[in-house]
Structures are given as C-alpha cells and as structure tokens.
Amino acid sequence: MVKSYSLERRERQMGFLFALPSMVGFLVFILLPMLTVLVLSFSKLDLMSGQFSLEGMKYYNKMLNDEDFWRSVRNTVVYLVIYVPLTLTLGLSMAMILNSKMYLRGVVRTFFIIPYITTYVATLVVWNVFLHPTEGPLNSLLMSIGFSHPPQYMVDSHWALPVLAFIGSWKDVGYHCILFLAALQGVSKDFLEASSIDGANRWQRFKHITFPLISPTTFFLLLITIIGGLQAFYQMALLTKGGPAFSTTTLTYYIYRSAFEFYDFSYASAVGVFLFALTLVFILMNWLTQKKWVFYQ
C-alpha cells in the first residue's frame, strides 16, 4: 500500500520531467510567439533601434481601411471556394476509382499519390514551364487542336488565382484519396448488395449508404482542407508573387509582404490575428453544422 502510493508519486514526478521539454518548447515556440503577435498588433517595434511603443487600435484601424487588405480577404475566399470543393470531389472520385474492380490498382494508386509526396517547390518549377502562356506544352497542344486563344494562366489576372487553386488541389489530393479510400473500404459490402437487390441504383446507393458511412472522414477532410486552403502560400510566392495586378495576393502572402518586404511587423501581426480569427470562425461553422450531415456509427 505504502509502496504503490510512493510509486504513484514517482510516476507523477517523472511524468512532469518527461513532459518538461514539450512544455518548454510549447511555451517558447508556440504560446509566447502567439502572445507576442497579439501584443505586436497593438504596438510598434522598431527592429533597428529596438524602440517599442503602444499604439492601441492603430494597426487594426489601418487594416479595416486598407483596400489591399480587403482584396486579399476576397482572394483568400475565392481560393477556398475553388480549392476546397475541387480537392474533396477529386479525392473522392479518385478513391472510388481505386475502390472499383480493376487491374493495375497499385500502379494507379502510386500515380495518384505521387504529387502529394513530391517536393512542392520542384512541382511548382515544373508547372511554371508547363503552363508557359505562349510556348508551354499545354498551350501548344490546345493551339494544335484549334484553340487560337488559349488561357494565359498565371499571366492573366482572371485565370491566375483559379490556376493556383487547381495546382494546390493537384498537389494535396493524394492525401484525400488515401483517406477516402480507407473509408470506402470500411463500407460494408452487405449493405450495398442488400440495397441493390432492393432495386437501388448507383446514385441512390451512394447517397443513402456510402455517403453517410464515410461522412466522418469527409468532415475531417473538410476541416483539414479549409485550414490548408487558408494557409496556402507556396504557389503565390513561387509562381505569381501575388500578381498579376494583386489578383493572387491572399492573406498569407499579404502577411509575408507586410513583414518581410515592408518590415511592418505590427501590421503583419494584425493581419495574422485576423487570419487566425477567420480560421476559428470556419472551424466553428463546421462544428455547428456537422450534426446535419455527419453520421457516426
């Protein structure tokens, strides 16, 4: 009795010691930076002289009256509106392909996952040449089959953002494909067979059996995709630098420019706090609507 009491105490002590590195790391690299961003957004810090002064709501007021800020909010939302549904439907379709009766399943699966695991910057370097507006292979093909004015992709301010969203989907969809496939494989064949005997067609089987059964996975992926979409940055930084004509400057790229091109860390922090708030709003919205369509067995 005495022994087990001291052992329990020992476990607690060691537990604290074991967790100490993570707690210190969390404090130093996550919690303090978060608080610093919050403080920075209300104050001014001169990086050269180290001078610090409180400024109240100045940077938030600037933000709300900044046309460029609102344009980057709009661009972020447009990006999400394209990227999220595209990635989810593509991922589900690819998983359904892999879940059907077929030869060479392993090969096709590998093809589907390869973009997800390859180095992002390398694939962007490839896309940059592949979508070259005048000479690139895609437009050469389009012109040779009769399109005299193919899209100009990253050079055209109407096309640039959708193209970047498409590239983001192409890169990430392997992850969705893997998780959807695992979920589809978990759907009981008995249910599907029983309903097809009852005369349900493909679409009805999907709508009433498959979709409800995979809905927890869909919900998880929806969350992940929204968060990933809000944080998209690589395509803008590498392919368009936020242009042409500001059309691909999303919030993340706007934060980057404010901080590392104009060295206005306070303003970047204010926009960053806004981005975090936006993330939380999206998560909350999902959480509140999940009851309507997510089905837990």
Partner 1 sequence: MSQLSIRKLSTSIVFLLIGIIFITPLLWMLSTSFKFENQVFEQPFTFVHWGHVNFDNYRTILMDTPFLTWFWNSIFVVCFSVILRLILSVFGGYAFGFLKFKYSGAIFFLFLMTLFVPYQLTLLPQFIVYRYIGLLDTRWALIIPNMIDILSIFMMRQFFLSFPRELISAAYMEGCGVFKSFVKIALPLAKTPLVTLGLLSFFMIWDQYYQPLIFLKSKELFTIPIGLQSFQTQFGKAYAQQMALACLAIVPVLAVFLTLQRHFIESVVSSGIKG
12 touches partner 1 by CB under 8 A: yes
Cα separation of 270 and 41, whole Å? 5
- Residue of 178, 291, 169 lying closest to 225 (CA atoms): 169
- State which residue, 45 or 208, has the beta carbon closest to partner 1: 45
102 touches partner 1 by CB under 8 A: yes
Q: How far is CA 205 from the centre of its chain?
A: 30
Are the C-beta atoms of 220 and 194 separated by less than 8 Å?
no
- State which residue, 200 or 278, has the beta carbon closest to partner 1: 278
- Determine the interface stretch with partner 1 among 63-71, 153-161, 177-185, 202-210 (rule: CB under 8 A): 177-185
Are the C-beta atoms of 40 and 266 separated by less than 8 Å?
yes
270 touches partner 1 by CB under 8 A: no
Binding-site member from 55, 58, 68, 113 for partner 1 (CB under 8 A): 113
Cα separation of 97 and 108, whole Å? 9
- Give kind and range of the element (H or E) at residue 103: none
Binding-site member from 52, 70, 260, 287 for partner 1 (CB under 8 A): 260
Using the 8-state DSSP alphabet, how is residue 51 labeled?
A: -
265 touches partner 1 by CB under 8 A: yes
- State which residue, 3 or 198, has the beta carbon closest to partner 1: 3
Number of residues that bind partner 1 (CB under 8 A): 89
- Determine the interface stretch with partner 1 among 56-64, 118-126, 154-162, 198-206 (rule: CB under 8 A): 118-126
Window 212-251: residues binding partner 1 (CB under 8 A): 217, 220, 227, 230-231, 233-234, 237-238
129 touches partner 1 by CB under 8 A: yes
Three-class DSSP category at 24: helix
- Residue of 9, 52, 83, 13 lying closest to 236 (CA atoms): 83
89 touches partner 1 by CB under 8 A: no
